[in-house]
Structure formats: C-alpha cells, structure tokens
Amino acid sequence: MSPKIDPDNVRIFSGRANPALAIGIANYLQVPLSETLVQHFANDCLSVQLCASVRGRIVYVVQSLTPPVQENLMELLMMVDIARNAAAKEVHAIIPYYAYARSDKKDAPRISITARLVADLLKTAGATQVMTMQLHTPQVHGFFSVPTDPLTARGLFVSHLQQYNLNPEKAIVVAPDAGIAKSAARLARLLGLSVAVGSKQRFSDTNVKISKSIKKQVRGYEYAIIYDDEISTGSSVVELSRILLKSGIRRINVVCTHGLFTGEAVERLNSIPQIETIITTDTVPPPAKQALPKLKVLSVAETFGEAIRRNYHHESIGPLFTFSEDEEEGSE
C-alpha cells in the first residue's frame, strides 16, 4: 500500500477560486482542509488569515487563477506570504489553472510577459515549489525560478475516451494550432489514432482564423476529437468545428484541460449539434449542467493528490508530467 502523508506534518489551505477541488485533494490525501478566512476592508483591500498553525510544517495552498483573476492571484500571494512569515517549513503553491500562461512572449511593443512576472511574484511571496497543470506553452515552465511541476490530465482523457471504442480508420485527433500539437500527438498515440494540426491566427479573443488546409489532413475521417489546452470564448473550437464539418467530419468530441467558457462560449458551443460531448476537468469550476448539457467534467483531484503524496515521500512524479511520453514509466 502506498505510504500516506502525516496529517500533523502538513497543512492544506484553499483560496476561494476552487474550494471543491481543494476538498477533493485533501480527501485523497486523507488530510483535513484547514480553514482560511478572507474578508474585504472598507477600502476594498483584502484581509486573509490562515486559521491553523503552520510553524515547522509543509503547507499546500490550492488556488486556481480563475476570474476574477487579479483578486484570486492577490489572495494566493497573500496566503503564501502568510505561511512563509508564520515559519512554515515549505510552502507549495498548487495552481491547477495558471491563467497568465497565455502571456508568454513579447509580441507587441511595451507589453509585459506576465507569465514570468507572476512566477517571480510567487517566489518573492515565499513559494518554495509550484505545482500546476497543462501550461499554455512549454516555455512558461522556464519562467519559474523555484521547482515547478506541470502535471497533465492526459491519463484521465485517455481512460474516458477508450470507452468510445474508437475506430482508427474513422477517428482522428485534431489540434487547432502548432502550440498544442505535441500534446495532441501524445493523446493520439495513446488512443491509437492519427493526428491533424491546424494553422491558427488570432486577431482578438473572439476572432480567430484557421487555415482550410487542414481539410486535406482529415479527408476520409468521420469522427474528430478536437484537443486543446483551454476553452475560453470558444472561438477556436467553433471555427475549427465548422471547417471540419465542411470537410466531411460528421461527429465531434471536444477535449480541453481548462474549461473557462467565458462570454458567449456556452451559446457558441451549444449552436453546433455535431459536437456530441465536451470533456474537460475541474481545474476551473464548471458551468451549470443545464447551461452546457454536453459537458463532461473529470476531476483532477486524484492527480494532484498523488503528485503531492509522491513529492512528500521524495518519489518520482515523472509519469504525471505534461511532457511525459510514457504514462506508466516516465521519469523526472
């Protein structure tokens, strides 16, 4: 039996962004979730208090950077800072969704590479280690100057999709752009399917164009699994779906790690009847089932819990990494 974590040696706290996931992680580890008190002063400043002693203990702070992102980021930084100043032995920032990962390059004058800035802020606040899931691009991992573990939900997706009895002659995995191509290829390999990669141009949050050249790659297939790291406004998925349907694809399943579904995303996705299921995880709290009846949410609580347990016992967590090629025998 796998060794457990000593509940007296650790403390797990949750911010307000995703308490349900934090409870799932704590339950997997069989460690109580300690209380966090968050209030606003009259001038709108945050007041945060960790309601359990952390002195000499290993602290895990669970907080996704979901909307309102700035509020949740400040809350996370304060919780990490509190734990450090209260003499915690280690402070681990568990960030299932790292929102600023999309700001990973300087592609216009006088803008911030905010993914790196936030990574620096986490170190300054006192984080000794960071754990997250499916960063927007691999280069973001390099922005962190403390040990950082980018986990993957790929194993969950594979286990779920294998129930569909996919025919490799009729089904294909499709990536909207080259940025997610390697991850899509790993998913396709584990499912025994081919992969197609689109060429995307983004002009704004809601305006994207995908080259019609992908039609040649999906010719002869009937069923497509669109795979992306994140769905925000849904513009990429909708644009790609329309091209695929004109290319002869009859059925579509959508898979993404982070399902934000902002703005009119729900309406856009519901408007395409050929999308049968949208499979995502709970790194972000999902919308109500009645709003998006096609949605299937897989929990990453066990994935994070197992990574925390292995890290605590100084075991390899390689198979849980985003870039692991082998789900069973990957290594750090």
Both 78 and 138 in one domain: the answer is yes
Is the confidence at residue 95, as pLDDT, over 90?
Answer: yes
Mean pLDDT of 178-182: 88
Strand bridging mode 129-133 / 90-95: parallel
Both 202 and 305 in one domain: the answer is no
Both 190 and 98 in one domain: the answer is no
Both 240 and 280 in one domain: the answer is yes
Helix (H, G, I), strand (E, B) or coil at 273: coil
pTM for the structure as a whole: 0.92
How many other CB atoms are found less than 10 A from the CB of residue 95? Answer: 27
Q: Confidence class of residue 328 from pLDDT cuts 50, 70 and 90? A: very low
Q: What is the enclosing helix (H) or strand (E) of 76?
A: helix 69-85
Handedness of CA 318, 319, 324, 328 (dihedral sign): positive
Is the confidence at residue 130, as pLDDT, over 80?
Answer: yes
Is the confidence at residue 292, as pLDDT, over 90?
Answer: yes
> For this structure, is 200 an active site residue?
yes
**20, 282 in Cβ contact below 8 A?**
yes
Asked whether residue 328 is assigned to any structural domain, the reply reads no
* Partners of residue 149 on adjacent β-strands: 131
Both 59 and 164 in one domain: the answer is no
Asked whether residue 4 is assigned to any structural domain, the reply reads no
The predicted pLDDT at position 319 comes to 81
Which CATH number belongs to the domain containing residue 160 in this structure?
3.40.50.2020
**202, 208 in Cβ contact below 8 A?**
yes
CA–CA separation, 137 and 98 (whole Å): 11
Mean pLDDT of 192-210: 83
Is the confidence at residue 327, as pLDDT, over 70?
Answer: no
* Partners of residue 256 on adjacent β-strands: 228
Mean pLDDT of 100-112: 87
Both 113 and 188 in one domain: the answer is no
CA–CA separation, 193 and 283 (whole Å): 26
Both 182 and 248 in one domain: the answer is yes
**61, 94 in Cβ contact below 8 A?**
yes
Asked whether residue 82 is assigned to any structural domain, the reply reads yes
Is the confidence at residue 313, as pLDDT, over 50?
Answer: yes
Asked whether residue 265 is assigned to any structural domain, the reply reads yes
CA angle centred on 80, ends 57 and 110, rounded to 5°? 150
Asked whether residue 126 is assigned to any structural domain, the reply reads yes
Asked whether residue 2 is assigned to any structural domain, the reply reads no
Which amino acid is it at 118?
A: V
Both 178 and 201 in one domain: the answer is yes
Count of structural domains, the chain = 2
Give the domain extent around 312.
10-153+301-320
Helix (H, G, I), strand (E, B) or coil at 95: strand
Share of the chain above pLDDT 90, in %: 81
DSSP string covering 155-191 = HHHHHHHGGG---TTTEEEEESSGGGHHHHHHHHHHH
Choosing from 89, 200, 209, 294, the catalytic residue is 200
Asked whether residue 60 is assigned to any structural domain, the reply reads yes
**116, 99 in Cβ contact below 8 A?**
no
The predicted pLDDT at position 264 comes to 92
Asked whether residue 59 is assigned to any structural domain, the reply reads yes
Q: Which two tokens stand for residue 202?
A: 């983004």
Q: Which two tokens stand for residue 326?
A: 């082998």
Both 74 and 146 in one domain: the answer is yes
Both 132 and 256 in one domain: the answer is no
Both 211 and 253 in one domain: the answer is yes
Of 226, 137, 154, 153, the residue nearest 190 (C-alpha): 154
Encode burial over 64-93: b for 16+ CB neighbours within 10 A, e otherwise: bbbeeeebbbbbbbbbbbbbbebebebbbb
Is 11 exposed, middle or buried (CB count within 10 Å of its CB: 0-12, 13-18, 19+)?
buried
Q: Confidence class of residue 204 from pLDDT cuts 50, 70 and 90? A: confident
Residue 101 DSSP one-character state: G
CA–CA separation, 331 and 76 (whole Å): 30
Of 39, 268, 199, the residue nearest 254 (C-alpha): 268
Which amino acid is it at 157?
A: F
Both 159 and 284 in one domain: the answer is yes
Q: How much is the mean pLDDT over the chain? A: 92
Share of the chain above pLDDT 70, in %: 95
